[in-house]
Structure 1
């Protein structure tokens, strides 16, 4: 028995709908609870352009990471540090 591997097969409407259905089901499973749904409730807003703030920890501390929430919109962010007392 020989099988012709070069024979063309066409997708039917049923095949197309099954592919769409499986894609939608997979998308629901893959994207379910993707990311965090909580955003900060309070924020610091500068009263004038270029205003900044300092965070003083009282002594030198090792920071492993800095996380900020920029929110919706544009703006600029600059993070600077100093070991000066």
Structure 2
């Protein structure tokens, strides 16, 4: 189970590298959205391992609300570019 958590933490480095490399707003926000999703899933795994439902609840809220707001912001920024 610990190897799964370490693998998920290593998978977090991929969207961080994409966000640091790109200057386009769309790619930057897509990288941060991917990072947010991976962190929320990691929170769910940790909550199952620790048997702590409050951490899992925060992960579910991030999954259901957080990415929608970030993608809406990306869409607004994309449409306002000249």
Superposed pair shares fold, TM > 0.5: no
Greater percentage in helix? 2
Question: TM-score category by the smaller chain?
Answer: under 0.3
